[in-house]
Chains A and B, each alone.
Chain A
């Protein structure tokens, strides 16, 4: 059980993340979705304690009742890998170019266990098999640049699950990959999550991907959760204007589990862009880009409940179907 409460991240005097509440049940998959600069990656890194030195974090991140934010570096490194695995955005840059692939995975195993050398080697092979890489004994002697992008990400995932973590944070794990490979990696993440009962915090800007992977979704704008609920509910009946705009801007919102491009149609866009940190408007942070903004939006909207855990913060929500 992973619980975030009143989590705030400050960098350079600006509050870039403020999450009121977010929780992730064991074995479930939660999507964090938002545009670039919305604070989703910062939220994920705050949970794993991977924020840069200059970041100030306050609030609470609890893992099975233990407060992660109160931990020192040594305690936190015990949590990382063993309790919470982390898969990064760009696999080509997340593997050390001077280190053989097998070595990078075995390194992740040996952080948290004192297995003898031969047992580690067997486990590396088993892990590479689990992430469905061909011919592990040969592959583990390769260097990262000899692998394709998809293979590299599989290696990263193998390293992330090497110490059998209970949760996996995946920060846009398929953004750097092409679409066909993307689907394979997503299916792999889903099956690993189901086999191991491993919870996944999945960060993405793509609602289609989120829908494919996650049971629940939290839409983030300006560092705050504006709408959350079961993925099906949020996508079928978005309440927050930002969620609705994001959905409208998605070309290939798949009606089934396949990814299909919609050719020849004009894409809906959200006017403007995410304002630079520190220049968000008062009240609802989205109001300067919102089609339905009104006088009321200058005040902070409260959290409203649409039933079934579907919550949103909007003064002029999209009305039900």
Chain B
């Protein structure tokens, strides 16, 4: 409480209040933001760490220690059927997951929001049909796209990435159209026309920054979706191929070990769940913080 704070010089007191309000502002941030942020940080940290350090080298087989249980000396979470260290496998899986989801989300966001902006700025008559076209894109089942692509290009990370992009572009476009149209109807857009700016410039310099909070939230949620899809595709065998490690493929392999090592499926499963949960929580927290109503009160 500022009232009970010890009295100092005026500047000290002001600094005190400022620090105090900053601290209170941090505490007012939603818990989901912190929880999501922590999970996402852990995921990215582990994935990056795998480039410089893993407990064992990638695909190092400990043939004498196959299917070791968790807690076996030297193997914190045990080993899989081929005697590979589970921790190492999970770290390498995170790396692949991060790689695929970053590439696909960035490309899908850029493409999708550009398409959405273009449609929002298009002529009134063209807008309806174009929006319906995006809706049609939304209706295409993503797994089907992936299977078709796999038949054409063969299974692998490229196929998985392309499939996720094809799946997510209509989502990003559809989410962009509405808010972009709302911003286009605002007075400052007309003011920009008033001093001689034209539509493409207005779309990029005025509309885009004003919908960026939404795009940030969308990006975070799309990340979660990309991780789930990558795992699903790898699980189905359409995604990344051996010997590259992946959570989805790891999960698939544990299927046949249901009797021998039933606990094994929890490791990749938990990794997938926690990462997707982390991105979703982060998105939810960001949504609360970046909400325009709250942003005006000085939170964002």
Interface residues, chain A, with chain B CB atoms under 8 Å away: 48, 50, 53-54, 73-74, 77-82, 85-86, 88-90, 93-99, 107-108, 111-112, 145, 156, 159-160, 162-163
Contact = CB atoms under 8 A, between A and B. Distances in A.
A98 B187 CA distance: 14
A81 B191 contact: no
B195 A162 contact: yes
Q: Give the interface size class of chain B.
A: 20 to 34
A90 B187 contact: yes
B22 interface: no
B25 interface: no
Given A53-B124, A107-B205, A145-B296, A95 B196 contact: no
B197 interface: yes
Contacts of B205: 99, 107
A93 B195 contact: no
A81 B194 contact: yes
Interface in B168-207: 186-188, 190-199, 205-206
B209 A95 contact: no
6 contacts: A53-B124, A73-B199, A96-B210, A97-B188, A107-B195, A111-B197
A95 B197 CA distance: 14
B123 interface: yes
A98 B209 contact: yes
A145 B188 CA distance: 13
Contacts of A54: 124
Contacts of A77: 193, 196-198
B195 A111 contact: yes
Nearest to B208: A98
A255 B194 CA distance: 35
Contacts of B197: 77, 107, 111
A81 B196 contact: yes
Most chain B C-beta atoms within 10 Å of own C-beta, residue among A93, A94, A156: A94
B188 A50 contact: no
Contact of B194 (A50, A73, A93): A50
Contacts of A53: 123-124
Contact of B196 (A96, A98, A111): A111
A73 B194 CA distance: 12
A282 B238 CA distance: 73
B194 A96 contact: no
Contacts of B199: 73
Contacts of A48: 194
A86 B194 contact: yes
B190 to A, nearest CB: 6
Contacts of A112: 196
Contacts of B209: 96, 98-99
B210 A98 contact: yes
Nearest to B193: A50
A260 B250 CA distance: 82
Nearest to B185: A52
A96 B206 contact: yes
B123 A73 contact: no
A159 B188 CA distance: 12
Contacts of B191: 86, 88, 94-95, 156, 159
B188 A94 contact: yes
Contacts of A74: 198
B204 to A, nearest CB: 12
A184 to B, nearest CB: 21
Contacts of B193: 50, 77, 80
B187 A80 contact: no
A85 B187 contact: no
Contact of B195 (A73, A86, A99): A86
A80 B191 CA distance: 10
A160 B210 contact: no
Contacts of B186: 93
Contact of A88 (B187, B196, B206): B187
A29 B164 CA distance: 60
Given A54-B124, A96-B210, A97-B210, A85 B188 contact: no
B196 A73 contact: no
A94 B190 contact: yes
A112 B193 CA distance: 13
Contacts of B188: 93-97
Interface in B149-179: none
Nearest to A85: B195
B210 A163 contact: no
B124 A160 contact: no
A160 B196 contact: no
A176 to B, nearest CB: 11
Contacts of A86: 191, 194-195
